[in-house]
Amino acid sequence: MSTLFEAAGMERDLPRPLADRLRPKTLSDVVGQDHLVGSEGALTRMLRSGGLGSLILWGPPGTGKTTVARLLAGETNLAFEQLSAIFSGVQDLKKVFEAARQRRTMGQGTLLFVDEIHRFNRAQQDSFLPVMEDGTVVLIGATTENPSFELNAALLSRAQVLVFRRLDAAGIGELLARAEEIEGRRLPVTPEAREALIGMADGDGRASLTLAEDLYRASSQDDMFDIAGLTEVVQRRAPIYDKGQDGHYNLISALHKSVRGSDPDAALYYLARMFAAGEDPLFIARRVVRMSVEDIGLADPQALVQANAAKDAYDFLGSPEGELAIAQAVIYMATAPKSNAAYKAFGAARRAAREYGSLTPPKHILNAPTKLMRSEGYGDGYEYDHDSADAFSGQDYFPEEMERQAFYDPPERGFEREIRKRLDYWAKRRRTREAGDEE
């Protein structure tokens, strides 16, 4: 029976994970972030100038944020301290700050790396400000969430935000090539399965190496996995998508803008990604309704009908059958004639309402249910439009203290082409009436 110390010794002899063995030794080894660590990258220029300020590293998982923070400490001869906002609290911060102050008295600076920094609350984020301002620490914070929404403005004003990009296919391919070199053999996959593996990594370098390691463990020297075999060994990873965070808002925004841009294929792609990630279909259906009134409006009055019908169909059928109704509505919206005239008109009317305040409507269109109101002139001169030619009297319905406004300006597209004709005709009739009144 082995002792605890023997077990600990055995554990030290276990091979390190592939991702750890391939961790870059220099900034130039970092894959996929040439805009930061290339010869003219932002970090390279910063180090070349001889100074390193506090930084917020923002990007998806597995893009090298932690690795770069460690390498920066080595490049600048700063003592490296690392905390995770998930597991650390105020007392941990105080200990790190005190240790950094002591180092500073001995001429040693400190690089404090805080992973998931967005998970610190506002008060905890504020605690960094004094030690950043007096140079006690150089703060490097890493986050997968948009710093504009998750970090204090005061903290952001004292740090430069650097954006890490998800790794493209070439970057993932380079990591896999390095894995093959260190393992001494090629990945046991067909060319098609290799492409599928790169897709499964979804831009996450660490994930790609974990998948590669799973393949090496599951294979013998002569094995060769096709796509079906690959899927069986490693299982397909769901796309990185947090329904409560940036992924949620980025993809629904991409869907909306694809519809607005009349691109049904791109719209269906983003819709499929959200469904695959488990997004609430009713959330999407509500956004489709919004598209129908904001971006299509009266250019196709059936758009709102179609959007609501899709929502009702999903309510009736549920998933997955009801998802097809939402997809059909998305196609309808993307291929419909576009107009934001109603959207703009309502916005302009709201601004006018705020600007002019509580003006009373003209008396001729006010009802007069009492004798007093009739004596005040309520209803005097009102013309019942249905008794006029073409059911149009041409009266002015705006308050007397307010000039007539033109909020709604439909384009010559879709059904609004017909509305445009009516408005032009009514405007001509109105001008004729006004000219007659002046005579």
CATH number at residue 256: 1.20.272.10
* Four-point Cα dihedral 239, 240, 246, 247, nearest 10: 0
The average pLDDT across 110-119 equals 93
The average pLDDT across 409-418 equals 93
In a domain, residue 275? The reply is yes
The confidence score (pLDDT) of residue 255 equals 95
| CA dist., res. 54 & res. 158, Å (int) | 7
Pairing of strands 110-115, 138-143: parallel
For residues 376 and 267, state if they share a domain: no
Residue-wise over 251-264: b if at least 16 C-beta within 10 A, else e? bbebbbebbbeeeb
The confidence score (pLDDT) of residue 368 equals 86
In a domain, residue 23? The reply is no
Per-residue pLDDT tens digits for 15-53: 788 888 999 999 989 999 999 999 889 999 999 887 789
Residue 126 has pLDDT above 80, yes or no: yes
For residues 74 and 123, state if they share a domain: yes
Q: Which of 131, 163, 195 is the last residue of a domain?
A: 163
For residues 258 and 327, state if they share a domain: yes
For residues 423 and 367, state if they share a domain: yes
The confidence score (pLDDT) of residue 229 equals 87
The confidence score (pLDDT) of residue 145 equals 87
In a domain, residue 21? The reply is no
The confidence score (pLDDT) of residue 244 equals 55
For residues 316 and 379, state if they share a domain: no
In a domain, residue 272? The reply is yes
Give me the CATH number covering residue 228.
Answer: 1.10.8.60
10 Å CB burial of residue 306 (0-12, 13-18, 19+) is buried
The average pLDDT across 94-118 equals 92
For residues 217 and 173, state if they share a domain: yes
Are 200 and 238 a contacting pair, CB within 8 Å? no
In a domain, residue 355? The reply is no
What's the mean pLDDT when you consider all of the chain? 88
In a domain, residue 17? The reply is no
For residues 53 and 125, state if they share a domain: yes
The confidence score (pLDDT) of residue 236 equals 61
The average pLDDT across 334-340 equals 95
Are 82 and 116 a contacting pair, CB within 8 Å? no
The average pLDDT across 395-411 equals 91
In a domain, residue 19? The reply is no
For residues 309 and 370, state if they share a domain: no
The confidence score (pLDDT) of residue 230 equals 87
| pTM metric for this prediction | 0.65
* Interacting residues of 203 by C-beta distance below 8 A, sequence separation 6+: 60, 62, 63, 166, 167, 168, 172, 240
For residues 153 and 82, state if they share a domain: yes
Residue 5 has pLDDT above 70, yes or no: no
Of 239-243, 283-287, 327-331, 419-423, minimum mean pLDDT range: 239-243
The average pLDDT across 140-145 equals 92
Residue 1 has pLDDT above 60, yes or no: no
The confidence score (pLDDT) of residue 4 equals 47
Is residue 2 very low, low, confident or very high in pLDDT (cuts 50, 70, 90)?
Answer: very low
* Four-point Cα dihedral 60, 165, 266, 346, nearest 10: 80
Give me the number of domains the chain comprises: 4
For residues 140 and 173, state if they share a domain: no
Q: Give the residue numbers spanning the domain of 197.
A: 169-234
Report which of 265, 256, 328 is spatially closest to residue 296, judged by C-alpha positions. Answer: 256
For residues 158 and 39, state if they share a domain: yes
Residue 202 has pLDDT above 50, yes or no: yes
Give me the CATH number covering residue 75.
Answer: 3.40.50.300
Q: Which of 335, 351, 376 is the last residue of a domain?
A: 335
Per-residue pLDDT tens digits for 204-258: 999 999 999 999 988 887 889 888 888 888 876 545 555 555 667 788 999 999 9
For residues 42 and 77, state if they share a domain: yes
Residue 76 has pLDDT above 90, yes or no: no
The confidence score (pLDDT) of residue 148 equals 87
Q: Which of 113, 138, 163 is the last residue of a domain?
A: 163
Residue 276 has pLDDT above 90, yes or no: no
In a domain, residue 301? The reply is yes
Is residue 302 very low, low, confident or very high in pLDDT (cuts 50, 70, 90)?
Answer: very high
Residue 84 has pLDDT above 60, yes or no: yes
